[in-house]
Amino acid sequence: MGQALTKPIRETTTTTPPHGRTKYFAGKLLARIPVWILVALLLIVVLYPLIWLLLSSFKTTEEFNTSAFWTLPSGLAWQNYAQAWNSGMGTYFLNSVLVVFPSLLLVLVFSLAASFGLEVMKWRFNNVVLLIFLAGIMIPSQMILLPLFTMYFQAGLINTRWALIITYTAASLPLSVFLMAGFFKNVPRTIIEAAVLDGASIYQVFFQVAVPMVANGLITIGLVNFFFLWNDLLFSLTFISSDNLRTIQTGLLNFVGQYGQIDWGPTFAGAAIAVFPTLIVYLILNQQVIKGLTAGSIKG
Amino acid sequence: MEAMLRDRKAILVFVGPALLIYSVVILVPIIWSLVYTVFEGSVIGGFQFVGLHNYAELFSDPTFWQAFLFTVKYAVVVTIGQVGIGLLLALLYVFYLGKASPLIRTLVFFPVVLPTVAVAALFKKIFEITPTYGLVNSLLHVIHLDAWIQPWLGQAGSAFWVIAIMDIWRSMGFYGVLLFAGLVDIPAEIFESAKIDGASGWRMVRYIVLPLLAPILFSSFIFSINGTLKVFDSVLALTNGGPGQATTPLTLYMFTTAFSNGEYGYGSTIATALAIMCLFVTLLIFRSARQDVG
Amino acid sequence: MPQLPLQFGTPINRRQFVKVAAGTSLSLTAFLAACGSTSTGSSLNSNGSANIEFLSVQQAGTGWPLILATITDQYARTHPGTTFKVDYIAQNNLNQQVQLLAGQGALPVLYNSPPPDLLAKLSKDGEVLDLESTFQQLGVSDQITPGAVSVLNKIFGSPLTQLPFELNVEGFWYNKQIFAQHSIQPPNTWDELVQICANLYQKGIQPLTASGIQGWPITRLIGNYIFRSLGPDALLNVKNGQAKLTDPPYVEAATAVANLGKHGYFGKGVATLDYTPALDLYLNGTAAMMYMGSWELRDFNDPTVNKIGADNVGFFPFPNVTGGAGNSSQTPMNAGQTTTVNKAKYNATVGQWLAYMVKNYGDVALQKEGAVTGFAVHNPPANLPALTTLVINLIKQTAQPVLWFEALFTTKATNISQQDAAPLVTGAMSPQAFMAAVQQANQS
């Protein structure tokens, strides 16, 4: 949807502004100091709560009651983390891993195959089916929640990890198929033709030609889905009720409910533990993450 | 090659699994959900046909309308906040920051990826009043504005704003980057020729930037409204819909109706109402976008 | 565009593709099946000994699970292999979890009971054991105290189906030191209570503490006011349709409690307080009074939790309402969160355990936690804490107990009542609207 009136001068696959523009305005600004104050304020607003979270997780309960909120912790109260981990956060973390990664794998495999079939292969209904997948992006999860609950209930899948894996996989398919189809559109047909002329079967074309060409797309889609699934609350709240199967979000909810208002230290530690994985993924792959999450919304 | 690309069996193998699981888990439940709206009961208690009773109840249910109003109010406020601040951020990134821009963008984007429950736990502590003052109340105490100390999450009005602030804080970086990408698409020559014509600063933004950004802005609005109409996580984790049901959006109302009161039929009716709302709003924005941009 | 080496030496055809896909799925399945958790819920171990599983809102190592575990350990000395296990579920999720497990036939042999209307459904499905006849068979009918039986029958009807791991009285617990410092005497009437609140509030002391998030600590006050002003059957009349909660005398109760909130007697953060922090405000001396049940004896007698000391904890019953039909000797009593035995999982082996447990629960609870239960005590410990003795005497003295506000309500009405308690006391909801909402929920 970002149609410019004329073709942009530069390739906009990079995310830095063309230098000419910045220098032009920078020179014109009367005082640059206010900008840096603005930026500093912005960073404080965005980062201070998180820093506060981290620092507070290292305080002991007495420190909370006696010293002011901005003081640094006097020591590193690692026992907060130990308590948080042992009181359940460890289990919740593990459950999230056990549920999210298989789903991710399934989503990637299915959407790869499906988008290839929809975008590269030719048949009468491929546009219709593509539209059917797209429609799924619009539906609120609440629409499917109750029937799914009934289905899983009859199948005895309530309170099992399967319920989540199946749901996560299915719910991630619309967007993934959509994005992946977009990537497949960019695969030049000439390369495929060349492969066919060399004697490849359709499956070989898929595995050895098409898939490697959308490898980048795989990472993007993987990341987009990782964040959606890791942070899911509604489905895990509905389908899982026993404590030892909870995932991170529902587990943290439970954890905060138990310790929340009294034991600040472990509560903050628990929240910090919940935040770490996403933080690490983000730190390592931030550009990919940003591109991926925004690509998911710009297109279409 | 044509024959190979039309190989029916291969197509089935490729598209089949995804389509199957999608149909069973998404499509069938949608229809099923609509069917539920003319029944009442639960999986445990059994179901009874009630005709259009649920719909009648919906229209006369004050709690439904309260939740409806809250949902709309929330969607409007947070969308304006997110996209508006996102726009300001994008302008900042493009026009005022040079080399530091990628770093700042990355930092401000960070809250977007955090789990909502963790963010809510954090904000609960920031706005806490009892048993000890949280960040905000401590600050007010320290600068001697004690009269302003209040139970931010215990009052309907202020609780709404805390939720809104939390979600805007969380997502503004996202819209900042989104709109930034759109801004960057605008060729530099447009700005230069506008400058020659005498435009600068605010006028530049109003007459050049905004119109060119319009498509992406609309896209962002749709995306934002869609997401905010379906708010669930933030509210559940921060106030659980309280105090009372003052901060209950339609999604949460549907959830408690179905699972706490065991009324699946009525719950499905609320969900259907929500889905219709989402579709309606999206179509509305699409229409007005078509008329404007042409 | 990168150059791809086009090597098609090893052909992959459709069969192989499907094989790979199937293989992945199968291995995933195996992996996950191993990781998935299922509970068979059988009440018998493989060696024929009893396997007692308890779905509870209390965690292992505390409260009832702790006592049951202790008893089972003793029992296992003569009946080796007997095991006891707790499945913790948060109170808010209990109803849903019970329904879930019941539908799957996975409800364990012991489970904390859902509200009476749901329990009736479970009873129809054969998941509720008739304790009255079972106890007769086992010869332990005398192990449950008459007071407990009468309270339970009032709530659940007969025959007896509930295990009363608690027997509680409720009233106001006050900080003796604060009262003494300001020369305050415990009140006899509601108006006196309000005056005490005003007095303390003026002096900068928080008069009352209650959990707005839980809601029931506030609605208890409404219910008791109704009992005091209209008599002990006032809420039964509502259930039978002879009166409505929206009738003026009932609304008056809501107004009285709302006024407490209006004047700020609950403290500023009442709507944000959960159960434990609210309790804590009393136990650390911040709040002068707290309406609470005697299940908290556990904490009152625990010096690490009770910062004001057990000697400082005083009790006065819910006061009279001037000109009312009830009086303060009608102590609110309840059996707290009761427990049901699952008929579908019950058998003779479990019955032996049950008989042993019933005979010992009263004693062990009193010894280990100073907790008063609905079970008979055979060897009362020599030096009981003063508060425990107070409670035991109060139970003995109460001829006519009353229940609580939501005791006879539907599940939906209970939810609404407890949810709307906080807005009622913060002034966001009027007493009329509150009563109307609850009345309507009761009727639907």
Closest-CA distance, C385 to chain B, in angstroms, reads: 29
CA distances, A106 to each of A222, B12, C21 (Å) = 11, 17, 10
Residues A73 and A67: their CA atoms lie apart, in Å, by 9
Closest-CA distance, C11 to chain A, in angstroms, reads: 7
C132: its two tokens: 């009255």
Q: What are phi and psi of B106, to 5 degrees?
A: -65, -45
Element (H, E) at C190: helix C190-202
Task: Assign B139 a pLDDT band (cuts: 50, 70, 90).
Answer: confident
Task: Assign A20 a pLDDT band (cuts: 50, 70, 90).
Answer: very low
Mean of the per-residue pLDDT values for chain B?
A: 86
Which residues have C-beta within 8 Å of that of residue C242, sequence separation ≥ 6?
none
CATH of domain C169-333+409-443: 3.40.190.10
Counted across chains A and B, CB pairs separated by less than 8 A come out at 341
Average pLDDT of the segment spanning B117-133: 85
Taking the Cβ of residue A140 and every Cβ of chain C, the question of whether any pair is shorter than 8 Å is answered with no
CA B185-B189-B194 angle, 5° bins: 110
Among the candidates A17, A47, A76, a domain finishes at: A76
Task: Assign A136 a pLDDT band (cuts: 50, 70, 90).
Answer: confident
Judge if A225 and A288 occupy the same domain: yes
Where is mean pLDDT largest: A56-65, B49-58, C183-192, C298-307?
Answer: C183-192
Selecting from A267, A274, A297 the residue whose C-beta is nearest the C-beta of B178 gives A297
A204-228 as b/e: b if 16+ CB within 10 A = bbbbbbbbebbeebbbbbbbbbbbb
Q: A198 in a domain, yes or no?
A: yes
Q: A62 in a domain, yes or no?
A: yes
Q: Give me the pLDDT at residue C5, please.
A: 33
Q: B154 vs C422: CB contact, 8 Å cut-off? A: yes
Judge if A41 and A90 occupy the same domain: no
B132: its two tokens: 């000890």
Q: What are phi and psi of A92, to 5 degrees?
A: -60, -40
pLDDT at B173 over 60: yes
Residues C198 and C266: their CA atoms lie apart, in Å, by 11
Please report, rounded to a whole number, the percentage of residues in chain A having pLDDT higher than 70.
84
Q: A203 in a domain, yes or no?
A: yes
Look at B20-24, B280-284, C67-71 and tell me which has the smallest mean pLDDT. Answer: B280-284
Selecting from B4, B30, B189 the residue whose C-beta is nearest the C-beta of A144 gives B30
Look at A22-31, B152-161, B228-237 and tell me which has the smallest mean pLDDT. Answer: A22-31
Average pLDDT of the segment spanning B206-225: 83
Question: How many domains does chain A divide into?
Answer: 2
**Nearest to residue C218, comparing CAs of C407, C408, C423?**
C423
Pick the more confident residue, A255 or C203. Answer: C203
Among the candidates A43, A76, A109, a domain finishes at: A76
Domain that holds residue A103: 83-295
Residues B133 and B154: their CA atoms lie apart, in Å, by 14
Task: Assign B44 a pLDDT band (cuts: 50, 70, 90).
Answer: low
Q: A184 in a domain, yes or no?
A: yes
Judge if A142 and A264 occupy the same domain: yes
Judge if A102 and A58 occupy the same domain: no
Q: A242 in a domain, yes or no?
A: yes
> Chain C partners of B240 at a C-beta cutoff of 8 Å?
213
Q: Between β-strands C206-209 and C168-175, what pairing exists: parallel, antiparallel or unpaired?
A: unpaired
Q: Between β-strands C206-209 and C287-293, what pairing exists: parallel, antiparallel or unpaired?
A: parallel
CA distances, A277 to each of A176, A237, B207, B233 (Å) = 22, 20, 43, 19
Q: Give me the pLDDT at residue C259, please.
A: 95
Q: Give me the pLDDT at residue B40, please.
A: 86
Query: DSSP H helical segments within B23-155, as ranges?
Result: 28-36, 53-60, 62-91, 101-109, 116-126, 135-142
To test the contact with chain B by mutation, choose from A152, A179, A202, A282 the residue with the greatest count of B C-beta atoms within 10 A, namely: A202
**Tokens 């495929």 belong to which residue?**
A192
Instruction: Provide the residue-wise pLDDT of chain C in tens; the chain has 444 residues.
Output: 333 233 333 344 445 444 444 444 444 443 443 333 344 457 788 778 888 999 998 888 888 999 999 999 999 999 998 999 888 887 777 877 787 788 767 889 999 998 887 888 888 888 899 999 999 999 998 898 888 888 898 888 889 999 999 899 999 999 999 999 999 999 999 999 999 999 999 999 999 999 998 899 999 999 999 999 999 999 999 989 999 999 999 999 999 999 999 999 999 889 988 888 899 899 999 999 999 999 888 889 888 889 999 999 999 999 999 999 998 889 999 888 899 999 999 999 999 999 999 999 999 998 888 788 989 888 888 888 888 889 988 888 888 889 999 988 888 898 899 989 999 999 999 999 999 999 998 886
Q: A11 in a domain, yes or no?
A: no
What residues does C105 pair with on adjacent strands?
Answer: none
Q: Report the CATH number at residue A264.
A: 1.10.3720.10
Q: A285 in a domain, yes or no?
A: yes
CATH topology of domain B63-293: MetI-like fold (1.10.3720)
C351: its two tokens: 């019955």
Say yes or no: domain C51-167+335-397 is CATH 1.20.1290.10: no
Q: Give me the pLDDT at residue B202, please.
A: 73
Taking the Cβ of residue B43 and every Cβ of chain C, the question of whether any pair is shorter than 8 Å is answered with yes
Q: What are phi and psi of B46, to 5 degrees?
A: 95, 165
Q: C21 vs A241: CB contact, 8 Å cut-off? A: no
Judge if A64 and A142 occupy the same domain: no
